[in-house]
Structure 1
């Protein structure tokens, strides 16, 4: 299970104008549908995770935060064979970002993108 803890840039300081968010793209490289089985975001989703991601397609979601409330939450997707992909995140105003993903039951996942800063945008390729 990859766990990434990324410090904030040192040339920028948090402020009330700083926003925290995760914009995630999940690329389904399996031969079947990935179905959302659980999800949560500390604040109301800007863009909720899709209920299904068809084979060869991608799905996006955005979890917001603000200076007082870290962007944090999780999603769990299940493949047709029961295998799962789980992504959890916490992007606070101050301190390190924590992003963890796990693929079980024969799935694998690779991340692409920058996981530092306050507004994180990354993709996970699930196969």
Structure 2
């Protein structure tokens, strides 16, 4: 007798759930930076690692969006840290923080609508 094999259930998170988790971890790392700052780095590492798995889907643009948000955020926060010497770094740092929150919100809302994030 031949035995039919049952398909194995897919292990891990679906791309949609993974993308939601990455946005949540990134936001957690941003808001709780002193305690959870490494969470942002972990989210970006996972986005880089899983980007090839979601290539050609709507989720690929979200992964790119998160990666670009991270690197631009590093640039602006770094510049703000250098500008603390002339005391305007606080202002630019707050602006960078607000911009990061905006990018996360815009991308996450686009994900809820099954659309790609855009700058329009």
TM range (shorter): under 0.3
Higher radius of gyration, 1 or 2: 2
Q: Which has the higher contact order (CA 8 A, sep 6+)?
A: 1
Q: TM-score, normalised by structure 2?
A: 0.27
Is the helix fraction higher in 1 or 2?
A: 2
